Amino acid sequence: MTSATDHPIAVRRLAIPSAQALADLASIFNELQTVLRCCERLVAELATGDAADDLVLEGVWTTALLSYSRCFTGGDRGMCLTESDVEATELQGEVLEWHKALRRMRKHFADPAHNPRERYDIGAAQDEDGRPTGIAITSTPQPPLDDRTIRQTGAIAYALSKLVDERITEQQEKAFAAAEALSTAKLNEMARIEITVPEELPAES
């Protein structure tokens, strides 16, 4: 396989199942890394105490939930994660139940019709005779995001990222073997991917 120090003369888009499966795994790994970055950002934001920005918390947490859930979305190539993968992480505690809770929270925060922050009720204010005197708008806020929730989410994302990283290595070998089996003419028929080769740093004297 091409190493980090090799400069290929061309890169061809491999339109073969093993390469497409590898692309799926790479995307899942990126999603899990996004979850980890979100968790780091959330822990730092919560550490500011009363100065924590609710808008930042909701936005970053929603991104984490969406990214996590996409890792378990089924695809034609079967590269998505499963509940069996969650159980295989060997994390302590009710890991599978927490995974299911995260999926439910994703639906809650991504609901296109309902406010994920508060539930509103409308009431009629009454006087001493029981007659309406006005309208009261009341709200019940959802429980605030807490440090434990974030850290548990980060732990499962980290464990799953290690599992996916191993699968990427295995799938790279399969994709390379499939590429080697192709003729040069067949490779040259495939679309070229334009890449930028980083400039080499000057050697230290």
Q: Give the model confidence (pLDDT) of 2-15 as tens digits.
A: 444 467 778 888 88
Q: Tell me the pLDDT tens digit for each residue of 172-193.
A: 999 999 988 888 888 888 888 8
What is the Cα–Cα distance from 41 to 150, expressed in whole angstroms?
A: 10
Mean pLDDT of 38-56: 93
Please give the backbone phi and psi of residue 122, each rounded to the nearest 5 degrees, phi first: -115, 130
pLDDT of residue 14: 85
pTM of the model: 0.83
pLDDT of residue 143: 86
Q: Tell me the pLDDT tens digit for each residue of 98-146.
A: 999 999 999 988 888 888 888 899 999 999 988 999 999 999 888 889 9
Stated as kind and residue range, the H or E segment containing 18 is: helix 17-46
Ranges 30-34, 73-77, 89-93, most confident: 30-34
Q: Per-residue pLDDT for 77 more than 70?
A: no
CB atoms within 10 A of CB 101: 14
* Token representation of residue 5: 């120090």
